[in-house]
Chain A
Amino acid sequence: MRNLWLGGLLTAVFAGMAVLSFLWTPYDPTVLDIANKIKAPTLAHPLGTDHFGRDILSMIMVGARTSIAVALVAVGIGMALGVPLGLMAAARKGSLWDEVIMRGNDLVFAFPSLLIAIMITAVFGASALNAIIAIGIFNIPVFARLTRSGALSLWSREYVMAARVAGKGAARISVEHILPNVANLLIVQGTIQFSLGILAEAGLSYVGLGAQPPTASWGRMLADSQTMISFAPHMALFPGLAILLTVLGLNLMGDGLRDLFDPKLRRARS
């Protein structure tokens, strides 16, 4: 439970920053102020300024928005396509459908996701949208497999049999009875994929293939500060910490949620 709270808190802090950045940031992160470049943290700039004199706190807030938006939509794509595919495969277990869907998933799964993401952004141009699509595609098999394996164990349950006897079709059973019972699995996996999405966005931005300037992005902040790390460590430290803490928070939250949803643990606790 402690994991859940700590993870939830960290996630909430960064999500809060992202939401707040729509309404207010200490400075405009797209306005350059060359005269004030590379300033260590002060009261006016709590996290210092970067090599163009932009306020790092403001950039991290907007960067949180970029990261979260990319990761959220990518997980959304993965769930929206992966879950129906998984349900379909489970409902027609052993059929040609099942084979085609799952082997297709294996195919996507077999490629190193970040490499393919780099390829996609290199071919179609570097942008946040292409990064979202690239990361999203690789979320599909994760959710499809999870849904299928969760659903398969449910199809032999009595209440599903009862529903079949009552004349409900496979599609209806999948939506009404199977999906609610695999939802907890999906939420846990979604949290983990969300943190992986943030890492992937940071990685793509770091090599210059994610969100393009002037959109602030944590990965690009890290890349920009690389040659200055020896005399301006704050420029690398804060975006690095932002990535670390967000990913840590989401992972802790995922762990905590799994413990919470696990019936065995729940029974043991009560």
Chain B
Amino acid sequence: MTMDYQKAGRYFKLGLISTAALAATAGIALAKSDIVVAMQLEPPHLDPTSAAAGAIDSVLYSNVFEGLTRFGPDGSVNPGLAKGWEISEDGKTYTFMLREGVTFHDGSAMDAEDVKFSLDRARAEDSANAQKALFEGIESVEVVDPLTVKVTLAAPNGSFLFNMAWGDAVIVAPETIADIKTTPIGTGAFTFKNWVQGDKIDLEKNAAYWGTPAKLDKVSFKFISDPTAAFAAVMAEDVDAFVGFPAPENLPQFEADPRFQVLVGSTEGETILSTNNKMPPFDNVKVRKALAHAIDRQAIIDGAMFGYGTPIGTHFAPHNPDYVDLTANSAYDPKMAKALLAEAGYADGFKTTLKLPPPSYARRGGEIIAAQLRAVGIEAEISNLEWAQWLEQVFRGKDYGLTIVSHTEPFDIGIYARPDYYFQYDNPSFQQLMTDLGAEADPAKRSALLATAQETISGDYVNGYLFQLAYPTVANAKVQGLWKDAPTQATDLTAVYWQ
């Protein structure tokens, strides 16, 4: 009997070894080819050319839709559907040479007619494009031949190629435009498969892609808005990656866990204490200056973001080569803040409102700022708003004193030239500066203009400049090729693979 048991035991061991070996070889032969990527916000619909919602681009940019040019992971502008371009001497005419053999996911060819259609649609009178300013300078779009498009501008525009890389400028087809909000048909390396509203969007590899094919076969974007649920989903490995992870306090735990990698990149998100420049007492520059000196940025970064974030002193991204460090202009100095308030006639302080949208940088940052303002005598009454309420009351209604929000659009200092923008900054000399900048193509002169622009808004203390929002991505340690930074709202998975 003992013999039999031993024999049985040996067979059993053998069996174990062979299954293990089988599993190992299978692992080498078939690296995982699907991925589940989670993010916080779900797109309202799937047309990047007719909505401001960044979540649409987060899912579709570069994966499904492509433009004439495209952003690289470092924010550089690279050739996209246009393999090259010629710029005329006077800087007004751009001739784009399109790639050959590009097809939409429905099989139809992408040609110059589609480019003309997309650009004309975006710049039309009745266009629903959220960034119409990108197309404003276009005078005409002409089809030269099926693979050549000539775009004529009213005036030279140094940032035209940059503008064409935006998610709002992707190329769409006239045949499929009617259903784009539910069935997006683009030219990208992934095709849209289905959308389970409130849960996920599935993409599949595009076998007929014109460029380097995607390394993944299947992609699911999952939407998890609650930070606690986000933490649990990553910890349980229900998702392979979480881009824009909402709870910075959990990042050290992921960093300490060998199963995960944490990429902390930068975004184009200038997080600012937006100030209603038309509402007394904020129409007084001394009060705004007092506000700026009452705020301790480092405490906000440490307390609200757990140390993730770069202090800024103006509305410009620190990783941009033209950035000017103006943080010293509004250094933390509560005594000076009090003196300035007294000078402005508010020695006893005043009351105002602080309306906060849902993200934790705003809610937590708001509590910290309210405490810091209280220390100099300003009583900021906090009210927490949902995004819809915030857009309604603050962004459109301009019914607020202070608010905190991150401006995530790239290169958006131009909003200060719009007097009807929600912080209502109206300075003709700054508006002139932006007009000059638009017409200037010389890089050195552009840099100088940008520096003046940054100094102007910093010196006018238009808003409280807090920090550049960090972009944390938590992913399985074996996932490679994810973007670290977020130069635009995008989750480009075309180069992602499993190790």
Contacts and interface: CB of A to CB of B under 8 A. Distances in A.
A213 B382 contact: yes
Nearest to A230: B253
A30 B250 contact: no
Contact of B303 (A52, A212, A227): A52
A8 interface: no
A180 interface: no
Nearest to B358: A208
B253 A214 contact: no
Contacts of B253: 230-231
Contacts of B383: 125-126, 212
Interface string A67-78: 000000000000
Nearest to A32: B371
- A-B pairs, top 5 by smallest CB distance, nearest first, are A227-B247, A34-B303, A34-B299, A32-B371, A227-B227
Contacts of A258: none
A32 B249 contact: no
Interface in B344-382: 364, 366-368, 370-372, 374, 381-382
Classify the interface of chain A: helix, strand, loop or mixed: loop
Contacts of A37: 302-303
A42 to B, nearest CB: 20
6 contacts: A30-B371, A34-B368, A37-B303, A53-B303, A227-B231, A231-B253
Contacts of B19: none
A213 B302 contact: no
B254 to A, nearest CB: 11
B228 interface: yes
Nearest to A125: B383
B235 to A, nearest CB: 8
B371 A31 contact: yes
Interface string B301-318: 011000000000000000
Q: How large is the interface on B (under 10, 10 to 19, 20 to 34, 35 or more residues)?
A: 20 to 34
B374 A227 contact: no
Interface of B: 227-228, 231, 247, 249-250, 252-253, 299, 302-303, 364, 366-368, 370-372, 374, 381-384
B299 A227 contact: no
Given A32-B299, A231-B252, 16 more contacts: A30-B371, A32-B368, A34-B368, A37-B302, A37-B303, A52-B371, A53-B303, A125-B383, A212-B383, A214-B370, A226-B227, A226-B228, A227-B231, A227-B249, A230-B231, A231-B253
A52 B367 contact: yes
Contact of A213 (B228, B231, B370, B372): B370
A228 interface: yes
Contact of B382 (A52, A53, A212): A212
A126 B386 CA distance: 12
A213 B167 CA distance: 38
A213 B356 CA distance: 12
A51 interface: yes
Interface in A168-222: 208, 212-214
A214 B228 contact: no
Given A32-B299, A126-B383, A214 B371 contact: yes
Contacts of A53: 303
Interface residues of A, number: 20
Contacts, number: 58
Contacts of A213: 366-367, 370, 382
B379 to A, nearest CB: 10
A55 to B, nearest CB: 14
A30 B370 CA distance: 10
Contacts of A126: 383-384
A35 B302 CA distance: 8
Contacts of B368: 32, 34, 52
Contacts of B228: 226-227
A247 B99 CA distance: 70
A208 B382 CA distance: 11
A43 B130 CA distance: 56
A228 B249 contact: yes
Contact of A212 (B231, B249, B302, B384): B384
A51 B145 CA distance: 62
Interface string A121-141: 000011000000000000000
A227 B370 CA distance: 22
B234 to A, nearest CB: 12
Given A125-B383, A208-B384, A213-B367, A34 B302 contact: yes
Contacts of B299: 32, 34
A165 B188 CA distance: 93
Interface string A23-58: 000000011101101000000000000011100000
A230 to B, nearest CB: 7
A230 B252 CA distance: 12
A30 B374 contact: yes
A114 B190 CA distance: 46
B250 A51 contact: no
A34 B300 CA distance: 8
Contacts of B384: 126, 208, 212
Contacts of B231: 227, 230
Nearest to B248: A227
A126 to B, nearest CB: 7
B364 A227 contact: no
Contacts of A231: 249, 252-253
Contacts of B364: 51-52
A214 B302 contact: no
A30 B371 CA distance: 7
Nearest to A127: B383
Contacts of B382: 212-214
B66 to A, nearest CB: 37
B249 A51 contact: yes
Nearest to B372: A32
A212 B227 CA distance: 21
A231 B302 CA distance: 17
